[in-house]
Chains A and B, each alone.
Chain A
């Protein structure tokens, strides 16, 4: 597999001053997917926004791994509900005009 589009995990650890064990725990709980290419661990670049969010929750808000998992699940639900609400609002406009 090509390393293109992947960010080495050790670089993320250095950059954000986070222990590797933090990412291992996130991976174990299923919140992130660590890709191994030629014996090195990587994260897909599209996931960096989520990972930064998890780091902020952990370091700035003292939320543990399980808490981050719950927060992410709830945020996903909120996103789905917002989309649904938007669809319903758009449908409601049919009857308002």
Chain B
């Protein structure tokens, strides 16, 4: 646990007036406030730092304590009396103005000096209901697991949540579950739970939107003379006719054999198959002779 320079965090010097502190705090809060920086963890961290600095420096009593003893925070005994006073503050039901964001998440340094929530200021005192904090979670799945709609029970913060994972959900997509976030303050509604899907593709298919792409090897003779092959799709095998004289890199589309379209039951993207013609290796003398004859036929 290290000493935290609250003046440095707010970008002010030790002689700053209450007005300077407020001004500096508001300026930085506008820059890093979570409402203005959604999903930005770094901004959230900075906002907590700024909030904590303001909690201390905007309260004359706390500022005095910090100025006198801040660097000697290890001598916690000196602050025991202050802590007791602080507990009385906490019991009064007063809240941080940023009840949704700053609450209860202070540095160890702050806790050691002030014992928790310190502010006795702000607009939210006395029984005003506040919506709970939105919680964020990440769910790791593989591509096969999101091919069909699935129901799962997740344990988040010790609570079981039944979740329907719609087929076709995309990597990085966020699903909001209302009322499963943090508890509200003073009986306010609960926040929401945002689940970000992290989907790993460990199949041979490449996903582009709702379409799948794959490459299929084709032997030279089937490519030249035509025939029938069996290929893998995402949900099973299908037989395909190969046209005579199929060229290397030819692409065919299998309509409706792609990935399910998110929240559109029964709708699927397409599967694109690219033929990759494999040349025969280790030719026998007889084969070489026949290919030579073929070559002569072509050049004559």
Residues of A within 8 A of B (CB): 15-17, 48-49, 52-53, 56-57, 59-63, 71, 75, 78-79, 82, 86-87, 89-91, 93-94, 97
Contacts and interface: CB of A to CB of B under 8 A. Distances in A.
| A interface majority secondary structure | helix
B173 A86 contact: yes
Contacts of A71: 36
21 contacts: A49-B131, A52-B131, A56-B98, A59-B123, A60-B29, A60-B97, A61-B26, A61-B29, A61-B33, A63-B30, A75-B36, A75-B38, A82-B39, A86-B171, A86-B173, A91-B209, A93-B201, A93-B206, A93-B207, A94-B207, A94-B208
B63 interface: no
Contacts of B128: 15-17
Interface residues of B, number: 27
Contacts of A49: 131, 192
A78 B43 CA distance: 15
A68 B209 CA distance: 34
Interface of B: 26, 29-30, 33, 35-36, 38-39, 97-98, 100, 123, 128-129, 131, 170-173, 189, 192, 201, 206-209, 213
Which of A60, A78, A91 has the most CB atoms of chain B within a 10 A radius of its CB? A60
B172 A89 contact: yes
Given A56-B100, A86-B172, A97-B201, 18 more contacts: A15-B128, A52-B100, A53-B35, A56-B33, A56-B98, A57-B35, A59-B123, A60-B33, A71-B36, A78-B38, A86-B170, A87-B209, A90-B170, A90-B171, A93-B201, A94-B207, A94-B208, A94-B213
